[in-house]
Amino acid sequence: MSQEKISYKNTNNGIIMSAYLDLPNDFDKNKAYPAIVITHPGGGVKEQTAGIYGRKFAEHGFVTIVTDASYQGESGGEPRQLENPYIRTEDISSAVDYLTTLPYIDNERIGAWGICAGGGYTVNAAINDKRIKAVGTVSAVNIGHMISKGWLGDQDMKDAIGSLQFGAQARTIEANSGDIVQMPMAPLNEDDTPYTDLKEAWEYYHTDRAQCSTSPGYGTARSLTQLVTYDAYNMAEIYLTQPLFVVAGSIAESKWMSDDLMERAGTDNKQMYIVEGANHMKLYDIPQYLDEAVAQLAPFFKEHLGVAELAEA
């Protein structure tokens, strides 16, 4: 496969997006290929886990696009590190928009995949955008419920009112001073959390394992005024009609959000695969677990998007 670094204009907000476009082996611009939109975690960038999966799927014959979110990474937009879930979801549909302009993409064979919060955003995009024909997730996080119910899903949702108040206060501070109020997107120190998954998130984002200059580890606190009440699976019971394949680690503390997705998804074609011994973060980049996930997801996307027969563009 080959990789191109590209930019394109986001049809939702006019921001110039930065992305990697991965092309399969023996790519022929005169053929029409299936494609997968790849979405990174909250606080992540295309050079990290999303980029690995993008390359892996391209090796299986798909064109993949791995885009930095609006306001993040090398994509444009101010304020930097805004994590507005509605914009993140629209970024996925905007990537679909871009793919439809490429002559070598079969518009009827576009899928979407996401990891962590990117998985939740991918589901939400598919609920609304039926150009997405198949949906895959790894270590899916419904970011609104993660905040309102806690990492383990056992928190009283009323406890998140304080987060709403903090987000609102941050907006007031910014409106009056111009100073951006920050919040961590992953623990900034190893001891900042009691949760095993999130201790490994610190390692992933803040050590040589995967730290990246364009992924500073914080978001804008103002984002909480959208995040707390956001439900990535809103109306999935009715409108998530596409084939769905969910991957989660057997010991992931976040697995309850994948279980919830499976329960709520309205599609008759839904599957869940458990990677034994994996937690939330090991599915990001540890070959033993990541390769097992791809080995399950690639046949799913081939079945529903097809790679065997490439039509003339």
Q: What is the 3-state secondary structure (H, E, C) of 14-82?
A: CCEEEEEEEECCCCCCCEEEEEEEEECCCCCCCCCHHHHHHHHHHHCCCEEEEECCCCCCCCCCCCCCC
H or E stretch covering 110: strand 105-115
H or E stretch covering 2: strand 2-9
Topology adopted by domain 2-146+232-312: Rossmann fold (3.40.50)
Is 90 exceeded by the pLDDT of residue 308?
Answer: no
Q: By percentage, how much of the chain surpasses pLDDT 90?
A: 97
26-30's contacts with Cβ under 8 Å and 24+ in sequence apart are 27/1, 27/2, 27/63, 27/104, 28/104, 28/310, 29/103, 29/104, 29/313, 30/104, 30/312, 30/313
Nearest to 145 by CA among 135, 154, 132: 154
Record the pTM.
0.97
pLDDT at 307: 75
Average pLDDT over residues 223-252: 98
Question: How far is residue 250 from each of residues 83, 153, 192, measured CA to CA in Å?
Answer: 28, 16, 24
Q: What is the pLDDT of residues 77-127, one digit of tens each?
A: 999 999 999 999 999 999 999 999 999 999 999 999 999 999 999 999 999
Is 60 exceeded by the pLDDT of residue 311?
Answer: no
**Pairing verdict, β 218-220 and 182-184:** antiparallel
Question: How far is residue 137 from each of residues 103, 106, 118, 216, measured CA to CA in Å?
Answer: 27, 22, 8, 24
Is 80 exceeded by the pLDDT of residue 158?
Answer: yes
Question: How far is residue 14 from each of residues 40, 68, 71, 90, measured CA to CA in Å?
Answer: 20, 14, 12, 12
Q: Where are the domains of the chain?
A: 2-146+232-312
Q: Residue 177, Cβ neighbours under 10 Å: how many?
A: 9
Q: Residue 112, Cβ neighbours under 10 Å: how many?
A: 30
pLDDT at 109: 98
pLDDT at 162: 98
Q: What is the pLDDT of residues 161-220, one digit of tens each?
A: 999 999 999 999 999 999 999 999 999 999 999 999 999 999 999 999 999 999 999 999
